C-alpha cells in the first residue's frame, strides 16, 4: 500500500567521493618484484581451513598444491611461485588484530618454474561437473570479498535450476578499481569465464551489472560479449552500495531475496567479475588462483595503481613498490574505505580476499568529534536494508540488545552508509558490530552454561546411581552374610542333633 514511498529499484544508498580517478586510467602493474618469501595462510576462504600436504624443506613448483581442501565447504591453496617450504607456522593474518593463523612459508628460488597441469583442448565442451571440479581444484573463491568457494556455488546453481547468472561488477566501494581495470584489460577472458560458469551451472543467461562510472570497462565488456547473446552487459547507476549483491539483484531483476533465503530462491546465482576471470584461468589455462589484482591507493600512496600481486606477498612490499612512506601513513585498510578492515601493520600477506590495500593519510580520515543525535534520519534514508540505525544505536547505548534485535540488527550488512552520512559523526556501524559481538558471546555463554548444567546434572545422576549401586551391593553382601550365617547355624544345629 505504501510502496510508492519506496524507490522501486534502489533502496537507500549514498554518493561518496569516488577517488577512483587516481588509479582507473593506469594499466595493471605486472612488475612487482618477486618477494624473497611468500606467506600463504591455509585459511583464505569461508569454511574449513585447507590441510597442508607439503613438508618443510620440500621443493615446490609454481602452482603446485600446498594444502588440500577439507570437507564440502573449503578451498585448496597453491604455491604462488617455485621455491622451498621454509616452515608451516602461525603467522599474523590480515585481520584487525593480526590474529596469527597457520601459514605456509615459501622461500622463492626466482625460477618461477610452473607445475605441469594438463590443459584441456576444448574447455567449452567439458561437462558441467568437470568444470566445477576444476574450479574447486584451482582454489577459486569469491573475489569480491566474501571468499566463498566458487565451486560450491556453481554446484548449488546446477542443482537449483537457476535461470540467471548475475555478474557483480558494481565495484561501488570508493578508491577500488581492481575490477574496473580487469574488465578494461581482460574483458575477453572474463567473458570466457562467464560462459564457463553458465555451462557449469546449466544456466541459460548471464547479466553483467557495471556501475556507470566505468565507461571503458562497459564498452570493453560489451564488445567482448557481442557474439554471445546469452550474456548481456548492463549499466547500473553509481550509488553505494550498488555492489551489495542483493541490491544489484533487485535493481536488475526487480526481485528480492527473502530475508531467510539466498539468491537461488529467486533462481539467481551471483558471482563477482574477478571470480569469472579466475574461473577462466582455472579451466582454460589450468592455472590455480595464485595471484590477484590489488588496488593500492589512498592519500599516503605517492604512486597509486593496480598491481598484480602473488598471494602471500607481504603488504609492506606492495606498499614499498608504490612508494609509501611510513610517516604519512595514518591508517592501513584491507578492502575499501566503507567496509574494509583496519590492519595494525603491513607485515601481513596479501590473500585471496585482498581487493585493495588503502594507505590513508591523516587528511583522508577526518574525524570530527561525536555530537548528540539530532534525529535528522539521514541514516534512515541512507540505509539500503530499511533499518532505523538511530533507534538501534540508542537501544544498544542503553544496553538493550534484544530491543535492537527486534529493530532488525541481524539484517544489518555493515555497509557503513549510516555512519557515512551521520552529521553528528556517530559511529553507528561500530555500535552494531559491538552489539553483534555481544550477542554472539552471550550465545556462547548461554551455550556454555547449558553444557555445564547438563554435565552437573549428569554427574548428580551418576553419583546417585553409584550410591544406589553401592547400597545395593552392601545390602547384597549383608544378605549373603546373613544367609551364610543362617546356613552355618542350621548346619551346626543339625550337627549337634546328629
Partner 1 sequence: MNAKPISSPHISSARRVDEIMRKVIFALLPALGFGIIIFGWSALFLTFVTVSSALVFEAICLKLKGSAIESYLLDGSAIVTGLLVAMTLPPYAPWWIGVVGSGLAIILGKHVYGGLGQNLFNPAMLARVALLISFPIEMTTWVNVSPFFTGLDILEGFKITFSGAEISDAITGATTLGFVKTGFSQAQLLPDLLSDYSGFLAFIGWERGSLGETSTLLILLSGIWLMRQGVIQWFIPVSLLATVAVLSTLFNLIDSTHYLSAWVHLNSGALMLVAFFIATDYVTSPNTPLGQLIFGTGCGVFIFVIRSWGGYPEGTGFAVLLMNSVTPLIDHYIRPRIYGRTRDGKPIEGG
Smaller CB separation from partner 1, 195 or 246: 246
CA distances from 158 to 46, 127, 200, 350, 394 (A): 21, 12, 7, 32, 45
Within 353-392, which residues bind partner 1 (CB under 8 A)? 358, 360, 364-366, 368-369, 371-377, 380-381, 383-388, 390-391
CA 45 from chain center: how many Å?
A: 6
Given a contact cutoff of 8 angstroms between Cβ atoms, the answer to whether 331 and 311 are in contact is: no
In the complex, least distance from residue 256 CB atom to partner 1, rounded to whole angstroms: 6
Residue 142 touches partner 1, criterion: CB under 8 A: no
Rounded to the nearest 10 degrees, what angle do helices 150-159 and 273-284 cross at?
90
CB nearer to partner 1: pick between 215 and 259: 259
Number of residues that bind partner 1 (CB under 8 A): 74
Closest approach of partner 1 to the CB of residue 148, in Å: 19
Q: What is the C-alpha separation between 412 and 168, in angstroms, rounded? A: 20
Instruction: Kindly tell me which of 19 and 153 has the beta carbon lying closer to partner 1.
Output: 19
Give 212-220 contacts, CB < 8 A, sequence gap 24+: 212/236, 212/237, 212/238, 213/18, 213/20, 213/238, 214/24, 214/169, 214/171, 214/180, 214/183, 216/180, 216/184, 217/169, 217/179, 217/180, 217/183, 217/184, 217/187, 218/183, 220/183, 220/184, 220/187
Interaction with partner 1 in 38-67: which residues (CB under 8 A)?
none
467 lies in the site for partner 1, by CB under 8 A: no
Residue 380 C-beta: closest distance to partner 1, Å: 5
Binding mask 6-35 for partner 1 (x = CB under 8 A): x----x--x-xx------------------
Is 319:328 a contact under the CB 8 Å cutoff?
Answer: no
Cell 606498499 maps to which residue? 319
Residues 267-326 that bind partner 1 (CB under 8 A): 267, 326
Taking the complex as a whole, how short is the minimal distance between the CB of residue 239 and partner 1, in angstroms?
A: 14
34, 285, 342, 405: which one contacts partner 1 (CB under 8 A)?
Answer: 342
Buried b (16+ CB within 10 A) or exposed e, 53-74: ebeeeeebbbbbbbbbbeeeeb
Kindly state the smallest distance separating residue 91's Cβ from partner 1, in Å: 18
Residue 332 lies near partner 1 (rule: CB under 8 A)? yes
**Residue 433 interacts with partner 1 (CB under 8 A): yes or no:** yes
Considering the complex, what minimum distance in angstroms separates the CB of residue 183 from partner 1?
A: 24
Residue 204 touching partner 1 (CB under 8 A): no
Indicate the residue among 370 and 456 with the shorter CB distance to partner 1: 370
Q: Is residue 5 involved in binding partner 1 (CB under 8 A)?
A: yes
> Is residue 78 involved in binding partner 1 (CB under 8 A)?
no
Among 47, 80, 139, 174, binds partner 1 (CB under 8 A): 174
Which residue(s) pair with 108 in the sheet? Answer: 83
Task: Please return the burial class of 200, using the count of CB atoms within 10 Å of its CB with bins 0-12, 13-18 and 19+.
Answer: buried
| Footprint (CB under 8 A) of partner 1, residues 237-266 | 246, 250, 256-261, 265-266
Cβ proximity of 176 and 336 under 8 Å: yes
Amino acid at each position: 500500500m505504501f510502496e510508492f514511498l519506496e524507490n522501486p529499484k534502489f533502496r537507500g544508498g549514498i554518493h561518496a567521493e569516488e577517488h577512483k580517478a587516481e588509479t582507473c586510467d593506469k594499466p595493471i602493474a605486472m612488475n612487482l618484484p618477486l618477494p624473497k618469501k611468500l606467506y600463504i595462510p591455509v585459511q583464505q576462504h569461508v569454511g574449513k581451513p585447507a590441510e597442508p600436504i607439503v613438508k618443510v624443506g620440500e621443493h615446490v613448483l609454481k602452482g603446485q598444491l600446498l594444502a588440500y581442501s577439507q570437507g564440502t565447504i573449503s578451498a585448496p591453496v597453491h604455491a604462488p611461485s617455485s621455491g622451498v617450504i621454509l616452515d608451516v607456522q602461525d603467522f599474523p593474518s590480515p585481520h584487525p588484530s593480526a590474529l596469527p593463523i597457520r601459514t605456509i612459508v615459501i622461500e622463492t628460488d626466482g625460477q618461477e618454474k610452473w607445475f605441469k597441469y594438463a590443459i584441456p583442448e576444448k574447455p567449452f565442451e567439458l561437462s558441467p561437473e568437470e568444470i566445477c571440479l576444476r574450479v574447486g581444484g584451482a582454489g577459486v573463491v569469491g573475489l569480491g570479498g566474501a571468499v566463498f568457494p566458487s565451486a560450491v556455488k556453481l554446484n548449488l546453481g546446477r542443482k537449483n535450476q537457476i535461470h540467471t547468472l548475475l555478474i557483480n561488477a558494481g565495484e561501488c566501494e570508493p578508491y577500488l578499481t581492481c575490477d574496473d581495470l580487469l574488465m578494461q584489460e581482460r574483458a575477453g577472458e572474463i567473458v570466457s569465464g562467464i560462459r564457463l560458469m553458465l555451462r557449469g551451472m546449466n544456466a541459460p543467461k548471464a547479466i553483467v551489472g557495471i556501475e556507470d562510472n566505468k565507461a571503458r570497462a562497459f564498452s570493453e565488456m560489451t564488445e567482448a560479449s557481442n557474439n554471445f547473446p546469452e550474456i548481456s552487459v548492463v549499466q547500473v547507476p553509481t550509488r553505494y552500495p550498488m555492489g551489495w549483491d542483493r541490491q544489484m539483484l533487485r535493481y536488475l531483476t526487480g526481485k528480492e531475496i527473502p530475508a531467510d533465503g539466498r539468491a537461488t530462491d529467486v533462481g539467481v546465482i551471483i558471482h563477482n567479475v574477478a571470480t569469472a576471470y579466475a574461473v577462466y584461468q582455472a579451466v582454460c589455462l589450468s592455472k590455480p588462483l595464485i595471484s590477484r589484482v590489488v588496488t593500492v591507493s589512498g592519500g599516503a600512496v605517492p604512486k597509486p595503481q593496480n598491481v598484480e600481486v602473488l598471494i602471500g606477498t607481504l603488504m609492506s612490499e606492495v606498499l614499498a613498490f608504490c612508494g609509501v612512506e611510513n610517516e604519512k601513513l595514518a591508517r592501513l585498510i584491507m578492502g575499501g574505505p566503507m567496509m574494509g578492515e583496519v590492519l595494525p601493520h603491513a607485515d601481513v600477506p596479501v590473500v585471496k580476499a585482498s581487493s585493495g590495500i588503502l594507505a590513508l593519510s591523516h587528511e583522508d580520515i577526518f574525524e570530527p568529534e561525536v555530537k548528540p543525535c539530532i534525529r535528522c534520519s539521514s541514516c534512515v534514508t541512507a540505509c539500503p536494508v530499511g533499518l532505523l540505525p538511530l533507534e538501534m544505536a540508542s537501544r544498544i547505548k542503553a544496553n538493550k540488545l534484544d530491543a535492537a534485535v527486534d529493530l532488525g540488527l541481524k539484517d544489518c550488512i555493515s555497509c557503513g552508509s549510516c555512519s557515512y552520512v551521520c552529521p553528528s559523526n556517530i559511529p553507528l556501524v561500530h555500535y552494531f558490530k559491538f552489539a553483534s559481538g555481544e550477542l554472539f558471546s552471550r550465545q556462547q555463554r548461554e551455550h556454555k552454561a547449558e553444557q555445564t548444567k547438563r554435565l552437573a546434572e549428569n554427574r548428580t545422576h551418576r553419583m546417585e546411581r553409584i550410591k544406589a549401586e553401592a547400597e545395593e551391593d552392601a545390602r547384597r553382601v549383608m544378605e549373603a552374610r546373613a544367609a551364610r550365617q543362617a546356613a552355618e547355624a542350621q548346619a551346626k544345629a543339625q550337627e549337634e542333633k546328629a
